Structure 1
Amino acid sequence: MNYFYVTGNAFRFFSLLMLFLKMWETKSAAGVSASSVILFAIVFTTRYADLLVAFYSYYNTIMKMVYLLLSYSTVYLIFFELHSTYDHGKDLFRTELLIIPSFFLALTLNYNFEVIEICWTFSIYLETVALVPQLYMVLKSGFLHSTIRPFLYCFTTYRTLYLFSWIYRYFIESRFELISIISGCAQMLLLASFFNRKLRTTETSSKFGQDTVDAGRTIYFTPTAGKICTTKNLKHDHTQFTGDVYLF
């Protein structure tokens, strides 16, 4: 049995489940990119289009339906139940820049030209970049919200395990899935670049006496600061460092 594949699927399921439950528990969609959530819903819809024409097993069918249910339930939470908490002004990445190239790649680089195959290939390419709006949102705001952290960590683990799964399949099962491997490696490079940049940003913030608290507010401080100044307007994006402590 390919345990890398099985465990990777488990982490992918938990990444979606934890995102949904975290939003439900906190009653907040703050820090979550609706654009990325919609892209993942499109990914699962096109990847599992074969539900309409083929049956493999009850487990396979149930898990596909669970992924679809979780992704669309999360979309519903953001746009209806928790719409007032959604950071629409920070979720600015244009998704058409990801969808259109993925579609044309699926039309030109695929295994065959059947409709189901095109849908599957499109979903692979789109999943590679589906996290871009979320990562862009985090880097622009400078804050990784607690709602999205479990999702990102589980998702990164899932992609890492899938890389080992492809290596296993190549050497043990003599299978080589070029499209999946290239797309997966591209996504891992994207995630590695994000975490590297986030780590360097955190180190720089610590060096200059800057920290970020869970509400998305930033603290500037010095070791000799003798007072704390707190502003009531939490919508400020920055403030000048004067040597005192500022919480905003």
Structure 2
Amino acid sequence: MKGSEKGININAVTTWVRRQPPKMKLILGLVAAVAALVFLSLIVEDHDNLFVAAEAVHALGISVLIYKLIKEKTCAGLSLKSQELTAIFLAVRLYCSFVMEYDIHTLLDSATLVTTLWVIYMMRFKLKSSYMKDKDNFALYYVVIPCVLLSLAVHPSTTHNIVNRICWAFCVYLEAVSVLPQLRVMQNTKIVEPFTAHYVFALGVARFLTCAHWILQMLDTRGRLLTALGYGLWPSMVLLSELIQTFILADFCYYYVKSVVGGQLVLRLPSGVV
């Protein structure tokens, strides 16, 4: 009885939120984000650990994806183009790490790149019969070309080689929008099976944790983090990219949580969600 009452209360809240005008939804989203940031700042002593946590959640999402491909032997609902964009920005980021700031994150990115390349291989060759190519119709030049142009115009002002600085900016910008083809696939199908939903939700959580890491670190250093990144527009663009990554997936994550709480295994997205 209590479970059914809980479900009714959650449905009432979600129905009320859904009926609100766009401006009110934006305000509610910002309030929820600020509350989450305050919560993280209180329970996580070293805010640098949030970045490690983000990478761990991302790895968990990829593990779910690998399980889907191996056990279910299907890649239906997945975007090959998103995986290719992910491989591109990871490869560029690895190059920058090797020539600019080699650290533990380089090893983590290497593992992520290897698994992403494996996913691409499975989708292109082993499971290509289940690949929904007609649904994966997002034109990559819509994101790649703007990212290239933006990286040429706005990049770090460090003492590194200009090519390396442009590459660094490119991978930051491309990562922010790499999930767009996956969202297009889900927009076209309107129904998202569990493993794909888990994977995309993990991306959303990972990107929120990364965004929280930057914001809290900026507050901890009283803005000195921005000057450490350089001068000009670059520090602001880094933070903007992190925010874009988070808000791109915010709507999907809302419906994912609603679906899980409601006990639904398959996520059905309303029109215009992604």
Per-residue deviation, 1:187: 2.1
How far apart are 1:138 and its partner, in Å? 0.5
Report the residue type matching 2:187 in the other structure: L
| 2:243 match | 185
Is the CA contact 1:5–1:161 (under 8 Å) kept in the aligned structure 2? yes
Identity of aligned residues (%): 25
Structure 2 counterparts to residues 224-243 of structure 1, below 5 A: none
Q: Between Structure 1 and Structure 2, which shows a larger proportion of helix residues? A: 2
CA distance in 2, matches of 1:51, 1:213: 40
Equivalent in the alignment of 1:98: 143
Partners of 1:64 and 1:47 in 2: CA distance: 8
Q: 1:61 to 1:165 in 2, by over 3 A?
A: closer
* Partner deviation per Cα, 1:40-82 (whole Å, 9 max, x = no partner): 011101111135535634x334222102101111110100111
CA pair 153-194 structure 1, distance change in 2 beyond 3 A: closer
What is the rounded CA distance, in whole Å, between the counterparts of 2:152 and 2:80 in structure 1? 27
- Work out whether residues 204 and 250 of structure 2, in 8 Å CA contact, stay in contact via their aligned partners in 1: no
Aligned residue pairs total 205
1:166 aligns with 2:214: yes
Give 1:36's match in structure 2, choosing from 77, 82, 88. 82
For structure 1, the 5+ residue unaligned runs are 203-211, 218-248
Contact residue 204 and residue 253 of structure 2 kept, 8 A:
no
Q: Give the match for residue 175 of structure 1.
A: 225
Give 3-state SS (helix, strand or coil) of 1:137's partner: helix
Does the Cα contact within 8 Å between 2:77 and 2:132 map onto a contact in 1?
Answer: yes
Change in Cα spacing, 1:150 to 1:195, as seen in structure 2 (3 Å) is: closer
* 2:24 corresponding residue in structure 1: none
Distance 1:52 1:88, change over 3 A: same
Q: Return the alpha-carbon distance in structure 1 between the equivalents of residues 83 and 145 of structure 2.
A: 17
Residue 111 in structure 1 maps to residue 156 in structure 2: yes
Change (3 A) 1:63 1:213: closer
CA offsets 1:91-124 (integer angstroms, 9 cap, x no match): 1111111111111111111114711221121111
Instruction: Tell me, in whole angstroms, the C-alpha distance in 2 between the residues paired with 1:91 and 1:114.
Output: 35
- Change in CA separation of 1:92 and 1:162 when aligned onto 2, cut-off 3 Å: same
What is the correspondence of 1:1-248 to structure 2 with a 5 Å cutoff? 1=46, 2-53=48-99, 56-57=102-103, 59-112=104-157, 114-173=162-221, 174-176=224-226, 177-195=235-253
User: 1:147 Cα shift?
Assistant: 3.0
Q: TM-score, normalised by structure 2?
A: 0.67
SS in 1 for 2:216: helix
CA positional deviation for 1:19? 1.5
Question: Which runs of 5 or more structure 2 residues have no equivalent in the other structure?
Answer: 1-45, 227-234, 269-274
Greater shift in the superposed pair: 179-188 or 46-55:
46-55
- Tell me if structure 1 keeps the 8 A contact 2:147–2:173: yes
